[in-house]
Structure 1
Amino acid sequence: MIHPTKRFVRMPGTMMVAVILLNLSTPTLSAEVSPGATYADLADMSDSARLVLRAQVRKMAPVEPARARGVRAGWTRYYIEARTEALIRGDAPLGQSLRYLVDMPPDERGKAPKLKKRSVLLFATSAKGPAGDLQLVAPDAQVLWDADAEARTRAILAALVAPDAPRKVTGVREAIYVPGNLAGEGETQFFLDTADHSAASITVRHQAGAPTTWGVSFSEVAAPADSAPARDTLTWYRLACFLPNSLPRGVNLSEDASSRGQAEADYRMVLGELGPCQRNRAAS
């Protein structure tokens, strides 16, 4: 439970200077203090972060509205001083003292959230200066810490740097259904676009008298049709959160209307088995 604060002390001039020096882009994301971050929330932030750390909030003060450009209606930008507790991801030492800006909504009572002495996970692109001025990956890239959130974040970070990590999916390039020799048999392949132009594909297989199966491959080798990813894994995230809701116009290269219809049906089936990409904050 987040308790409301009774009041805030006006920031001294030195703090105000720090706020001016930090450069936050206009926020397009919603800050999330409660409910907790979903797998997709953590993956969104982890994928963009060069620094991930746990810190304890020591001081917190609202930024004057005139100096907080782009804050969404009803929200407040806060200047926070914190103490580093653990560096989870990063290739450079980080000092004990940290400063950053974060956008947050009011609590359930309409008051400012009280975070002093609470631990948070922070996702940042950089830390500059001797005082540790953090640049968060998004105006709301802060999550209340608990052991589960840290464990999930560590697992995501490990998956992101694994040699066989699935690449970012950006769309569907081609779809084709080829019927088999027997009635009820056939195979659909979806060739995916990726951010680094590496290979990725989904294979859906139909066998007479057997359930339809599917799988995904992030290599030149065709996917085994029994390798559908488990929910809340990085492979699931790459598909469920970034595949388009329907096949784009012109990508279905199946030979006839019946085959094109089967490819469309198979794509809907894959999306249905992946399930929704739930976020408690908007996608970056």
Structure 2
Amino acid sequence: MNPTLLLAVASLSLATPATSAFAAQNARIVAENGQASPTAAAPTLGYADTVGRVLQSTLIVDATIRSAVRIKGAEAATVPTNRARFYVEADVVALIRGPSAVAPRLGWLADVPLDARGKAPKLQKMRVIAFGRTVANRADQIQLVTPESQIAWNSGDEAQIRRVVRDVLAPDAPPAITGVGNAFHVPGTLPGEGETQVFLQTASGDPVSLLVLRRPGEQRRWAVALGEIVDEAAGPPPRDTLLWYRLACGLPRTLPASAVANEEPARAALATEDYAFVVSALGRCGSGA
């Protein structure tokens, strides 16, 4: 059996000293600013797609493919016509997410896209990032979280993935949204003035709420609170952050009628309008957002 290779989650690389120095500098910039350095390529994965795969993965590796064997017949019967299935063995370059120890060479099944002529890419020696889960009793095997969760390595993707991993594992990471609790609207003293508050349900039970402010002569404003106290000055979360993802991808598109069941019809209508305003401002989850 291959000896176990110990890898540092944030910084281990098998590159040359000069490359390692650049990688360390880039990692420092990413850690400090939460974004890729100016020299990083643009990510090929959208932010929401990256978060979705990170959340499903217990192991994410940067690896170089040593061998790839195409799988045909019954074992590839479910593969789309524009893809081909391969059994891949790859040498681990760096561990992006996972336990402190991982086998130096891993194998997995991957469905890779064909080119315009229907030809499969040359995978040998390709540097890739794989999102996977460990396989019981097989330290040298992983299962990709989806058949397409092997992507060509890209400095922008790596930086974004590392940022998402750090945000997901942070002690103060925003919880997953599982539904909407109660919502109510309180009119102000002036015509057109009022506030809507929406209490959200979360997987952890931690409180999350939305506040929408209406002021005469002003555009509606909204804020999100992670806690019991709502700070209207906090504002909405920036796009492509974990809190934005939790809301954009976790909130139902319309306010459930049960959330305003105890409200007067006029106030319920305003609360519903304000909720729709928040959902519209967030945009859709995923690459089509």
Aligned equivalent of 2:144 = 136
**Aligned partners of 2:68 and 2:89 also within 8 Å:** yes
SS at match of 1:183: coil
Query: Does structure 1 retain, via aligned residues, the 8 Å contact 2:102–2:139?
Result: no
C-alpha contact 1:215 1:225 (8 A) present in aligned 2 = yes
The one-letter amino acid of 1:195's match is A
Once residues 172 and 264 of structure 1 are traced to their aligned partners in structure 2, the CA distance between those partners, rounded to angstroms, is 12
- Structure 2 counterparts to residues 8-157 of structure 1, below 5 A: 36-68=44-76, 70-126=78-134, 132-157=140-165
| Distance in 1, Cα, partners of 2:248 & 2:138 | 41
Structure 1 93/254 Cα, relative in aligned 2: closer, same or farther at 3 Å?
A: same
Cα pair 1:202 1:223 within 8 Å, conserved: no
Q: Give the Cα separation in 1 of the matches to 2:133 and 2:186.
A: 46
- Looking at structure 2, the residues matched to 126 and 105 of structure 1 have their Cα atoms a distance apart, in angstroms, of 24
Q: Which protein is richer in helix relative to its size?
A: 2
Return the alpha-carbon distance in structure 2 between the equivalents of residues 217 and 115 of structure 1. 46
TM-score, normalised relative to structure 1: 0.80
Residue identity matched to 1:136 = L
Aligned twin of 1:210: 218
What is aligned with 2:39? none
Displacement of 1:131 in angstroms is: 6.2
Higher mean displacement: 255-264 or 75-84: 255-264
Query: Deviation of residue 116 (structure 1)?
Result: 2.1
Query: Gapped runs of 5+ residues in structure 1?
Result: 1-34
> Is 1:275–2:278 an aligned residue pair?
no
Residue 74 of structure 1, CA deviation: 4.3
Question: Aligned AA for 1:140?
Answer: E
Aligned positions, number: 246
1:273 partner amino acid: A
**Residue 56 of structure 1: how far off its partner (Å):** 0.8
- Summarize the Cα distance change of 1:88–1:165 in structure 2 as closer, same or farther, 3 Å threshold: same
Aligned to 1:7: none
What does residue range 230-241 of structure 1 map to in structure 2 within 5 Å? 230-241=238-249
Contact 2:105/2:140, CA 8 A, preserved across alignment: yes
- Residues 80 and 272 (structure 1), Cα distance of their counterparts in 2 relative to 1, 3 Å cut: same
Structure 1 contact 178–254 (Cα < 8 Å) conserved: no
Partner of 2:197: 189
Deviation at 1:146, TM superposition (A): 0.9
Identity of aligned residues (%): 39
Shift of 1:70: 3.8
Residue 227 of structure 1 corresponds to: 235
TM-score, normalised with respect to structure 2: 0.78
SS at 2:227 equivalent: coil
127-136 vs 84-93, greater mean Cα deviation: 127-136
Asked whether the equivalents of residues 125 and 136 of structure 1 are also in contact (C-alpha less than 8 Å), the reply is yes
Matches of 1:130 and 1:244, distance apart in 2: 39
Check whether the contact 2:59–2:133 (CA below 8 A) recurs between aligned residues.
yes
Inter-partner Cα distance in structure 1 for 2:266 and 2:234: 25
Structure 2 counterpart of 1:250, which letter? Answer: S
RCO higher in structure (CA 8 A, sep ≥6): 1
Q: Quote the residue 2:22 is aligned against.
A: none
SS at match of 1:246: coil
CA distance in structure 1 between the partners assigned to 2:115 and 2:179 by the alignment: 38
Contact 1:194 1:200 in 2 (8 A): yes
1:223 and 1:176 map into 2 onto residues whose CA distance is 17
Over 3 Å counting, the alpha-carbon distance change for 1:161 and 1:223 in structure 2 is farther
Distance apart, 1:38 and its partner CA: 0.5
User: Is the Cα–Cα contact under 8 Å of residues 166 and 234 in structure 1 kept in the other structure?
Assistant: yes
Q: Which residue of 1 aligns with 2:272?
A: 264
What one-letter code is carried by the residue in structure 2 that aligns with 1:177?
H
Question: What do the CA deviations read for 1:151-188 (whole angstroms, capped 9, x no partner)?
Answer: 10111111111121111112212221111122221111
Stretches of 4+ aligned residues off by more than 3 angstroms: 68-75, 127-131
Structural RMSD (CA): 2.1
Q: Is the 8 A contact 1:216 1:225 kept in 2?
A: no
SS in 2 for 1:251: helix
**How far apart are the structure 2 equivalents of 1:83 and 1:128?**
20
